[in-house]
Amino acid sequence: MRVGWSAIGTAALLAVGVIGLEAAEPAHTIRLWSGPGPGDGPAKGPEKDQSKPGEGLVAGKPLIRLGNVWEPTLSVYKPAPEKDTGASVLVCPGGGYHILALDLEGTEVCEWLNSIGVTGVVLKYRVPRREGREKHEPALQDAQRALGLLRQHSKEWGLDSGRIGVLGFSAGGHLAAALSNNHGQRTYPRVDAADDLSCRPDFSVLVYPAYLTDEKKGDTVSPELPVTTNTPPTFIVISQDDPVRVENVLGYVGELQRKKVPVELHLYPKGGHGYGLRRTELPVTAWPLPAAEWLRQNQWLRRP
């Protein structure tokens, strides 16, 4: 286990493209399912941004809180050819499994990934929670399907099928952890050849992840996260004043340690929750720099 604390200035963040980025259009957007997702019926109304003007700003800027997602998709954002390393990351926005912070924890993340030569893939998974089902069940089905589709299309889209990671925020961090620990078999009936391919991420990045442990049971790891020696190497960021509780992460890190899974934890005194990649005066918002260094050190950013 490696534990790090870091504080980086604006100039360093500019060097890795965390701020000052231009919006890009996805190279590919595909639906995960040809009809309703497993266990779902017809859509109950249209998708809608549930943000209200001036409410809940992050770093002084608004964000998209997308709700009522019934047709999940993956959208592929490619880096410039001269930067492309072949690595890719499935990005899982957070939102408590009620909404998706689609830009703050989705498209803006892909812009940063592109700046370090990584293809970013936004997973627009199903929300809100479905009545009578576990909070994460439809989302995990979507994530497993998405990983298989990425590997199926890897040659076509210029991806290295052996360097596909997952990155999630808050509830999306829980989803990334669930995918990292539930890849032995699909949680839905086989659809096509994409479901015959591995849905195990090669690495996992969890940013202020939620729901990793059960506070009522002494912060034991949540049962839907069966950590094994085959759980992928993991990078985690959280602050001590995060309302999801730092113990939530420490319990999970302890289980990774017991299973000898490589893990790097960056723990900051202040930062709260829900900052995404938007830079403020708080050192925690500089987390993309050590994350990029972790990716480099582990050879996931090597050039093909």
3-class DSSP state for residue 286?
helix
Chain CA centroid to CA 72, Å: 15
| Residue 48 forms part of a structural domain | no
Residue reference for tokens 């991420």: 201
| Residue 144 forms part of a structural domain | yes
Digit-coded pLDDT (tens) for 168-192: 999 999 999 999 999 999 999 999 9
Whether residue 271 has pLDDT greater than 60 = yes
| Range 234-252 average pLDDT | 97
| Range 250-260 average pLDDT | 98
pTM for this entry: 0.93
Q: Per the structure block, which two tokens stand in for 283?
A: 């050192």
β-bridge mates for residue 89, sequence order: 120, 165
Which one-letter DSSP state was computed for residue 37? P
CATH of the domain at 166: 3.40.50.1820
Digit-coded pLDDT (tens) for 201-241: 999 999 999 999 999 999 999 999 999 999 999 999 999 99
Which one-letter DSSP state was computed for residue 216? G
| Residue 237 forms part of a structural domain | yes
Domain that holds residue 233: 2-41+68-297
| Range 124-136 average pLDDT | 96
3-class DSSP state for residue 240?
coil
| Residue 63 forms part of a structural domain | no
Structural domain total, the chain: 1
| Residue 280 forms part of a structural domain | yes
Mean pLDDT over each residue of the chain, to the nearest integer: 93
Report the b/e string of 282-295 with b at 16+ CB within 10 A.
bbbbbbbbbbbbbb
Whether residue 17 has pLDDT greater than 80 = no
* pLDDT recorded at residue 3: 52
* pLDDT recorded at residue 10: 38
How many whole angstroms separate alpha carbon 300 and alpha carbon 292? Answer: 10
How many Cα atoms are found within 13 Å in the side-chain-facing hemisphere of 170? 21
